[in-house]
Structure 1
Amino acid sequence: MSKKRGLSVEEKRTRMMEIFFETKDVFQLKDLEKIAPKEKGITSMSVKEILQSLVDDAMVDSDRIGTSNYYWAFPSKALHGRKRKLETLQAQLEESNQKKKHLEQSVEKAKVGRQDTEERSKLAKELASLRQQREQLRVQLDKYKECDPEVVEEIRQANKVAKEAVNRWTDNIFSVKSWAKKKFGFEDSKIDKTFGIPEDFDYID
C-alpha cells in the first residue's frame, strides 16, 4: 500500500487562504493552529511557516494589538493583489518577448555574410538569458493562476461535498453502534475499542 502524499507548500497556502475567505474572520496564530489541521489537513507544525509566507507575499494582513498578533484576508483585496501581480508579470513577460524578438532579428542579421563575432556571441548569451527569464515568469504566472477565485470556489465546493459524505458515513457508524447496543447490550467504550473508533469521533461542523 502506497503512503498518502503530503500537501505541497502551494496546496497548503491555497487551503490556508480558504480559511480566511470562507470565514471572513480575524484569527490569532493559535486559532489557525487548531482550525487548519482539522478543516484543511494542514499540520499544526507548518501553520506558522505557511502563514508567514502569505504575510510576506501581502496575501494576508497582520497587526499587533497589545501582546497578540492578528491575521486576516478578504477575497476582494486578495483578488486585486493577484491582478496587480499578474499585470506586472505579464508586462515583464511582454517586455522579455519584445527583447527576445529584437535579439533574434539582430542575430539573424549578424549571420548574413559574417563569421562568429564577439558581438554575436554576446547577443546569443543575452538571448539565452532572456529565454530563461521568460520561462521563470511563465512559472510565476502559473503559480498565481492556482489562487484564482474560481479555482478556490471549486475547491470549496469539493470540500463541501466531501464533508457531507463524511457526515453521512459518520451517521451510518452511529446507527450501527446504536443497533449493536440494543442487540447485544455492548457499551459505547467497548464498541469503540473493538472497531478502533476514536473517543472524539463526531460529525464535522
Structure 2
Amino acid sequence: MDCDQQSRKGVSAEEKRKRLEKHFHETSDVFQLKEIEKIAPKKGIVAQSVKEVLTSLVDDGLVTTDKIGNSTYYWSFPSTAIQHKRNRLEDLKNKIKQEEEKKKMLEDAIVDAKIGREPSEEREEVLKELRQAQETERALSLALQEYKDKDPAMFAAKEKAAMVAKEAANRWTENIWTIQSYCVNQFGMDRKAFNQSFGLSEDFDTLP
C-alpha cells in the first residue's frame, strides 16, 4: 500500500509524528514549514495537518525550532531523540526513587499505628496514601513497559529500575504481613479483623 492510499484511509496522529520525525532524522536537514508541507503528502501526511504535528513534536522536545529573521526553521537529529529518551528515563527513575522513599515513610507509619482500636482519621489517612503510592507504582511500571516497546536498546536499564520499585512494593507488603502475624500471635487479633481495620482486600498480595 503506497502513501497516497494510506493517506486516503487516514493516518493516526501518532503515526504522523513518527513519519515526520523519521524524515528529519533521515535527512539531518533544516526545514521551513512550507517545505515540510510540500514533503508531507509523500509521507502520507496531509499538508493541512503538518503544523499541528510539528507543534506536538516541538512540545515534546523531539523537534527543535528557531526563528531567524522573518523565517521559522525546524530540525531534529537522531541525537535529539536519544537525549529526549534519556531525560524521560531519568525522570522515571527519580519518580520511582520518590515512591520508594514514600513507601518507607508509610511502613514506619503502619508500625507506629495503634493496632486493635477503632479506625482513626490518622489511620485512614495512612491507608489512603498507601493506596495512592501503589497506584503510582503501577502507573510507573506501565510507563516503563511503553518505553520497552519503543526503544528496546534502553530496556535493560529501565527494567532494572522497574524491578527496584517492584521489590520495594513487595517488601512493603511483606512488612504488612509481619505486623499482621505479630498482632494475631501477641494480641489474639483475628486476621480478618486486622484486614478490615486497615482496609486490606482479601486478595492483598505481592506484585507478580
TM bin (shorter chain)? 0.5 to 0.7
SS in 1 for 2:30: coil
In the TM superposition, residue 150 of structure 1 has moved relative to its aligned partner by 6.0
- Give the Å deviation of 1:144: 4.6
Give the unaligned 5+ runs of structure 2: 1-7, 155-208
Aligned to 2:16: 12
Post-superposition Cα deviations, 1:7-54, rounded to whole Å, max 9, x if no partner, equal: 333332222210111111111112222222312x22322221111111
TM-score after normalising by structure 2? 0.59
CA apart distance, 1:129? 2.4
Residue 27 (1) aligns with residue 15 (2): no
From 57, 80, 104, give the equivalent of 1:54: 57
Uncovered stretches (5+) of structure 1, i.e. residues with no partner: 152-205
Match for 1:86 among 79, 89, 92? 89
The size of the alignment, in residue pairs, is 147
Which of residues 115, 124, 129 is equivalent to 1:126? 129
How far residue 79 of structure 1 moved from its aligned partner, in angstroms, is: 0.6
- TM-superposed CA distance for 1:87, in Å, is 0.9
**TM-score scaled to structure 1, two decimals?**
0.59
Residue type of the partner of 2:99? S
Q: Which residue of 2 aligns with 1:36?
A: 40
The CA distance in 1 between the partners of 2:70 and 2:96, in whole Å, is 44
CA RMSD in angstroms, aligned pairs only: 2.9
Q: Percent identity?
A: 48
1:83-141: CA deviation from partner (whole Å, max 9, x where unpaired): 02211112212321442354256346637333311111111112222333334434444
User: Are positions 1:66 and 2:69 aligned together?
Assistant: yes
Amino acid at match of 1:71: Y
Residue-by-residue CA offset, 1:157-195 (whole Å, 9 max, x unaligned): xxxxxxxxxxxxxxxxxxxxxxxxxxxxxxxxxxxxxxx
